């Protein structure tokens, strides 16, 4: 997943500036964020020059802006003109030399569910646990937040209207919309990789089937159509296929279909139950869980066409669940145990398994950060459910939420 980016535009004097990049033309300190005022303050405090790339709205071109901490007034400099045109209120020069803008990368955030205010609501926080903010506020139960691929929206399920529906809102909680709005239960929402569609499960036609809709809720289309239950749609990385599990052949098996519902193919065929398909980042493999009961579950891997099925954990009497690929596809995080669970990581071929948490509490729901450097997870080690984060090797475990009520259901922003 790509980091979110933003373009901050401010107008000072005669120049409209988009603070997007610091040029390296002079010995200037690196500056990647902030507004013009903070740049001016920094330049004057340190008596330094700072160069940034700004958008000149007069001609639509990006130009180099030099903020000189030693200057007493600003000038618009053209070409080799050593004086240039004065820019009121800004000690800086604008050069007629084009520069290449780069959007500022924002650090990822974590959406989660909490009942700290009396019922289950959606919250968001920075990756270090600060700025915990409640986004939803209603008497119903809200859960399963899922960030859009561009990080601007969050889809979630809610029963606020009497049955479970899929809603979407902006990342700050504004612009709330009921997308599904029908008497059946709609849940299990998953954004397509390009953010234009959402796959989900609905019982509107009598049993759980896989549907797809546009990101604004239009074009709701039933993809599966059988008398059994179809669950857990998962998009392939290129958006052309959807994996899911179904009981249509007598027990739970992994299936795959094209994004329009055609070409439905059973990938697994065993007397045990196969569930929780997860595509590898390159789309060539799928992990899933297999087991007769929830007490005995193993994590398997197979090629995207169903061949080459391998048991990666292979530990009878132990339950392992929720395999999650690292962003680079080299490792798989998961949780499991005989009673209380721990979070583990292993190589994609099953080697090098390591217990990362190894704590007396119950640790579940591992989720990789977008850069793969950290893993967030839910833990009940302090008497209630909290959200923790740790480095990918298990070091630096920190309780992010640290609240007397339950926090769970986390999802990293892109």
Q: Of 52, 80, 104, which closes a domain? A: 104
Retrieve residue 319's tokens.
Answer: 């339950």
φ, ψ (nearest 5 deg) of residue 233: -65, 135
Same domain, 170 and 318: yes
- Domain total for the chain? 2
Same domain, 128 and 273: yes
**Containing domain of residue 245, as a range?**
107-412
Full pLDDT tens readout for the chain, 414 residues: 333 433 332 222 323 233 333 332 223 333 333 444 555 555 555 555 556 665 666 666 666 666 555 544 444 444 444 444 444 444 444 444 556 554 445 789 999 999 999 999 999 999 999 999 999 999 999 999 999 999 999 999 999 999 999 999 999 999 999 999 999 999 999 999 999 999 999 999 889 999 999 999 999 999 999 988 999 999 999 999 999 999 998 899 999 999 999 999 999 999 889 999 999 999 999 999 999 766 789 999 999 999 999 999 999 889 999 999 999 999 999 999 888 899 999 999 999 999 999 988 899 999 999 999 999 999 999 889 999 999 999 999 999 999 999 999 999 999
What CATH number did the domain enclosing 384 receive? 2.120.10.30
Same domain, 95 and 111: no
Q: Of 79, 104, 129, which closes a domain? A: 104
The alpha carbon dihedral of 118, 124, 406, 298 has a sign of: positive
Same domain, 197 and 281: yes
Same domain, 389 and 342: yes
Same domain, 62 and 135: no
Q: What's the pLDDT at 13? A: 30
Same domain, 122 and 167: yes
Same domain, 96 and 29: yes
Same domain, 279 and 300: yes
Q: What's the pLDDT at 378? A: 97
Same domain, 130 and 31: no
β-bridge partners, 221: 212
Q: Of 88, 104, 120, which closes a domain? A: 104
Q: What's the pLDDT at 92? A: 46
Same domain, 81 and 172: no
Same domain, 66 and 148: no
Q: What's the pLDDT at 54? A: 59
């Amino acid at each position: 997943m790509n980091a979110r980016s933003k373009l901050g535009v401010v107008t000072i004097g005669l120049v409209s500036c988009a603070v997007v990049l610091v040029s390296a033309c002079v010995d200037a300190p690196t500056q990647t964020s902030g507004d013009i005022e903070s740049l001016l303050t920094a330049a004057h405090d340190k008596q330094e020059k700072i160069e940034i790339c700004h958008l000149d709205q007069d001609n639509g071109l990006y130009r180099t802006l030099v903020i000189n901490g030693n200057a007493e007034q600003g000038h618009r400099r053209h070409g080799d003109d050593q004086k240039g045109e004065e820019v009121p209120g800004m000690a800086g020069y604008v050069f007629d030399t084009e520069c290449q803008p780069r959007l500022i990368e924002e650090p990822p955030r974590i959406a989660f569910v909490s009942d700290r205010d009396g019922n289950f609501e959606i919250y968001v926080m920075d990756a270090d646990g600060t700025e915990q903010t409640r986004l939803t506020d209603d008497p119903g139960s809200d859960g399963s937040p899922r960030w859009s691929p561009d990080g601007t929206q969050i889809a979630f399920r809610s029963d606020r209207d009497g049955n479970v529906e899929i809603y979407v809102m902006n990342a700050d909680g504004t612009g709330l919309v009921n997308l599904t709005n029908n008497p059946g239960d709609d849940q299990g929402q998953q954004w397509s990789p390009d953010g234009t569609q959402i796959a989900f499960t609905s019982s509107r036609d009598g049993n759980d089937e896989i549907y797809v809709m546009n990101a604004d809720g239009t074009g709701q289309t039933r993809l599966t159509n059988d008398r059994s239950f179809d669950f857990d749609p998962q998009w392939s990385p290129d958006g052309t296929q959807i994996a899911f599990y179904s009981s249509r052949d007598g027990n739970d098996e992994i299936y795959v279909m094209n994004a329009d519902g055609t070409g439905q193919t059973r990938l697994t065929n065993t007397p045990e139950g196969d569930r929780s398909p997860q595509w590898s980042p390159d789309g060539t493999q799928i992990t899933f869980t297999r087991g007769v009961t929830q007490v005995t579950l193993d994590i398997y891997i197979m090629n995207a066409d169903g061949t080459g099925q391998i048991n990666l954990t292979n530990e009878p009497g132990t339950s392992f669940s929720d395999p999650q690929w690292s962003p680079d596809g080299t490792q798989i995080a998961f949780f499991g145990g005989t009673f209380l669970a721990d979070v583990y990581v292993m190589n994609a071929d099953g080697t090098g398994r390591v217990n990362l948490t190894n704590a007396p509490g119950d640790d579940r729901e591992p989720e990789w950060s977008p850069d793969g450097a950290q893993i967030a997870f839910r833990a009940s080690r302090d008497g209630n459910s909290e959200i923790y984060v740790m480095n990918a090797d298990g070091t630096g475990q920190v309780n992010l939420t640290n609240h007397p009520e339950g926090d769970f259901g986390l999802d990293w922003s892109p």
